[in-house]
């Protein structure tokens, strides 16, 4: 095998070697304990469920019957696990942790948290976010296909406004190379919203996907009393494709319509192709465009509008 595919295979193998070395799964015991990775995984799964059918345990951990039996046997000999027959079906075997097993699992959990905390502690806040986002992307691409996470829109809470500023600044710097003047602009918009908030005419939403903040949008007064303005739409890169941006824009339009506005406008830039596609689908039309120099780049600013 030659060419790009082989190069990618070698990169995946290099990553595997790097990461297994970092987390120490090839050492004598996991996180400095006497337990192998397989034994620790069994203890973890049993701790989550309390009592688990052995067949289900094998399925979750993708273990063949012989290996699973040996793992359980070793843990049972140490007094950490008990195996017993199902009371109504003798063909089904159950496994559960003893009190000693639950205590050992708690120690393993604390050591694992400490080890991973040490790894993350070496990184900046932004690099931690990049690492976790990359891991989530890997899990999504190569992991089992699960039910789509629940998308929830909610009003901002304390701490959310700072998140809006930070994520806007970080995402636009990473994807478009915009400098800190854009983050400063976002900070001014957010501060003005908080200082002069009028619940009868303005609103903001935080989007959560599976309980994680992944996007936001603001509805504020526009160029006149009858026109609302959509501002600060942003969606985390790993959350795109779940309809987050569309839901946020639709919620913004519904609020404006319900609160007496007859039109909505927004300002964006021509390089923001994904956002422009959402605006067009929502019925906005481009009404003006002007070149400008902002955020360290030559851009074309655009005004979009739709009647309500």
Alpha carbon distance 299, 306 (integer Å): 23
- The pair of structure tokens assigned to 269 is 């830039």
- Supply the pTM of this predicted model: 0.59
Task: Compute, in degrees rounded to 10, the torsion defined by CA atoms 135, 136, 140, 143.
Answer: 60
Query: Residue 175: is its pLDDT beyond 80?
Result: yes
* Mean local confidence (pLDDT), 15-44: 70
The per-type count for the chain, helices as H runs and strands as E runs, is 10, 10
Query: Residue 194: is its pLDDT beyond 60?
Result: yes
pLDDT band for position 90 (cuts 50, 70, 90): low
Closest CA to 94 of 43, 54, 42, 61: 54
Q: Is 241 helix (H, G, I), strand (E, B) or coil?
A: coil
pLDDT of 170 reads 94
Structural domains in the chain, CATH included, are 4-122 (1.10.10.10), 151-307 (3.40.630.30)
Closest CA to 288 of 268, 274, 271, 273: 268
Query: Residue 248: is its pLDDT beyond 70?
Result: yes
* Residue pLDDT, tens place only, 271-288: 999 999 999 999 999 999
Query: Residue 249: is its pLDDT beyond 90?
Result: yes
* Mean local confidence (pLDDT), 137-158: 79
Stronger pLDDT, 91 or 46, i.e. the higher one: 46
* Mean local confidence (pLDDT), 13-22: 77
Region class of 165: left (phi > 0), else alpha (psi between -120 and 50), else beta: alpha
* Mean local confidence (pLDDT), 110-127: 84
pLDDT of 113 reads 83
Alpha carbon distance 87, 92 (integer Å): 9
pLDDT of 302 reads 96
218 touches 188 (CB < 8 A): no
Closest CA to 70 of 105, 103, 37, 38: 38
User: CB count, 10 Å around CB of 171?
Assistant: 15
* Mean local confidence (pLDDT), 144-167: 86
pLDDT of 150 reads 80
pLDDT of 26 reads 47
Closest CA to 48 of 108, 110, 105, 113: 105
User: CB count, 10 Å around CB of 63?
Assistant: 19
74 membership: H or E segment, kind and range: helix 65-77
pLDDT of 34 reads 77
58 touches 38 (CB < 8 A): no
């Amino acid at each position: 095998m030659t060419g790009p595919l082989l190069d990618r295979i070698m990169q995946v193998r290099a990553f595997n070697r790097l990461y297994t070395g970092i987390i120490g799964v090839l050492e004598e015991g996991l996180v400095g304990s006497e337990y192998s990775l397989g034994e620790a995984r069994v203890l973890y799964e049993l701790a989550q469920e309390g009592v688990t059918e052995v067949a289900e345990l094998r399925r979750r951990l993708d273990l063949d019957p012989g290996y699973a039996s040996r793992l359980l046997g070793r843990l049972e000999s140490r007094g950490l696990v008990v195996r017993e027959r199902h009371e109504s079906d003798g063909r089904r075997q159950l496994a559960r942790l003893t009190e000693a097993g639950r205590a050992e699992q708690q120690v393993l959990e604390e050591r694992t948290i400490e080890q991973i905390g040490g790894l993350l502690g070496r990184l900046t806040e932004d690099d931690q976010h990049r690492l976790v986002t990359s891991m989530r992307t890997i899990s999504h691409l190569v992991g089992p296909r699960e039910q789509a996470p629940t998308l929830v829109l909610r009003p901002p809470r304390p701490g959310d406004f700072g998140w809006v500023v930070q994520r806007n600044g970080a995402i636009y710097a990473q994807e478009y190379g915009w400098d800190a003047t854009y983050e400063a602009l976002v900070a001014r918009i957010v501060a003005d919203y908080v200082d002069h908030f009028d619940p009868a005419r303005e609103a903001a939403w935080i989007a959560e996907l599976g309980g994680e903040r992944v996007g936001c949008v603001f509805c504020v007064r526009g160029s006149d009393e009858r026109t609302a303005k959509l501002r600060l739409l942003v969606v985390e890169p790993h959350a795109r494709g779940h309809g987050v941006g569309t839901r946020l824009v639709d919620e913004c339009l519904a609020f404006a319509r319900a609160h007496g506005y007859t039109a909505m406008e927004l300002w964006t830039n021509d390089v923001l192709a994904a956002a422009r596609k959402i605006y067009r689908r929502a019925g906005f039309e481009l009404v003006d465009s002007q070149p400008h120099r902002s955020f360290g780049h030559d851009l074309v600013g655009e005004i979009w509008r739709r009647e309500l």
